[in-house]
Structure 1
Amino acid sequence: DALPVTCLPYDDRIEIPDGFRAEILAPEHPILKGITGEWPLLLGANEVEPRPGAEVLARLPAEEGGFPLLVTGTHGRGRTAVWTSDIGPHWVPNDFVAWSGYGMLWRNLLAWLSDSAQ
């Protein structure tokens, strides 16, 4: 119930061996603050459905289904988020982990979740 997405009742893995680039929908969001330029390729994600009131910050491209990649929401008085890929090194290849935006994405996400974002 706390997640800003609904998980599907079946195997929801989306494998994209050729890779895809995240489509950024809300570059001004504090989680994406300071992350500029093209994101490295990702190799997969889980298919989910955003819940009403959730904000999809990034998604897979339309040709790969347009499914949510990074989604935020609230639960009670707190914040919640979902990243539908992994954190590496399977669907998130080494090039993504080595990317300058990788650490910033996770720092920003944790700061936003803990409500200490600037």
Structure 2
Amino acid sequence: MKILFVGESWVIHMIHTKGYDSFTSTKYEEGATHLLECLGEAGVEVDYMPAHMVQVKFPKTIDQLKSYDAIVLSDIGSNTFLLQNSTFYEMKVLPNALDLISEYVTGGGGLLMIGGYLSFTGIEAKANYKNTVLAEVLPVEMLDVDDRVEVPQGINPTNTKEHQIIEGIDEWPAFLGYNKLIAKDDAETLVEIQEDPFIVIGKFGQGKTACFASDCAPHWGTKEFMDWEQYQTIWVRILDYLK
């Protein structure tokens, strides 16, 4: 199995103020390291594309996308795909990357979106997938506004039905938040969190889709989740469903 995993990276620019004086520092971080290692150990081949590399590396043709069994988008907003440098600064016409993903799923590909501050509608509605073609593709309806549900006290998801993805999983670890979603009528909600959809699967065209409403890593994903004995299992099963 071969997947394209996009997102889960960021740059932090800090201002350090010490009395009268101040200086800046910058650091780059990736959030999916543990998940990608788990997938590799399970035999899943992963092409990892950090958010800033979408500008120069994201496939420009459907044939390039077809080399993957599934595409995973995690904590990366729609603007990164739609406002690439050559379009934003040079007014060049380019293929719409989200249209390519839609075409890929229609033709039989798999798509997973994992939650986060820049997934679904996202913080301050900045992820904005609600107003893109992926709103038709994904198995959920997205909110028009900031869709984050912060749960600092922690909340445990619960299964809603039997399915191969969650077989043998009776108890879930706690999460610290999630994106509030509404399952489409023709979708299946496998797991809920506070009566909201947590894992949702569906179909679009000839392909399959899935949504995981919380983070695959901190901060919404707790240390308990990261250390969970079923952590690797749940992601591999979701990807197996999509292929």
Aligned counterparts of 2:152 and 2:180: Cα–Cα separation in 1: 16
Pick the aligned partner of 1:78 from 185, 204, 207: 207
The equivalent residue for 2:193 is 60
Pick the aligned partner of 1:9 from 133, 144, 151: 144
Query: Structure 1: which 5+ runs fail to align?
Result: none
Q: Deviations over 1:68-89 (max 9, x none)?
A: 1100100001111000111111
Task: Letter of the 2:138 partner, please give it.
Answer: L
Aligned counterparts of 2:165 and 2:172: Cα–Cα separation in 1: 14
Percent identical:
39
| TM-score where L is the length of structure 2 | 0.43
Quote how far apart the aligned CAs of 1:110 are. Answer: 0.4
Rg larger in 1 or in 2? 2
Contact 1:33 1:108 in 2 (8 A): no
Alignment RMSD (CA, Å) = 1.0
The equivalent residue for 1:111 is 240
Quote how far apart the aligned CAs of 1:60 are. Answer: 1.0
Quote how far apart the aligned CAs of 1:111 are. Answer: 0.4
Aligned counterparts of 1:74 and 1:43: Cα–Cα separation in 2: 29
The equivalent residue for 1:31 is 165
Task: Letter of the 2:171 partner, please give it.
Answer: E
Confirm whether residue 93 of structure 1 aligns to residue 191 of structure 2: no
Q: Alignment partner of 1:19: what SS?
A: strand
Contact 1:12 1:46 in 2 (8 A): yes
Task: Letter of the 2:151 partner, please give it.
Answer: I
Q: Deviations over 1:35-80 (max 9, x none)?
A: 3x3211111111111111111001113xxxx111100100001111
Task: Letter of the 1:50 partner, please give it.
Answer: A
The equivalent residue for 2:174 is 41
- Give the number of the structure whose residues are more often helix, by fraction: 2
Quote how far apart the aligned CAs of 1:33 are. Answer: 2.4
Following TM superposition, the consecutive aligned residue runs of length 4 or more in structure 1 with deviations greater than 2 angstroms are: none
Task: Letter of the 1:48 partner, please give it.
Answer: L
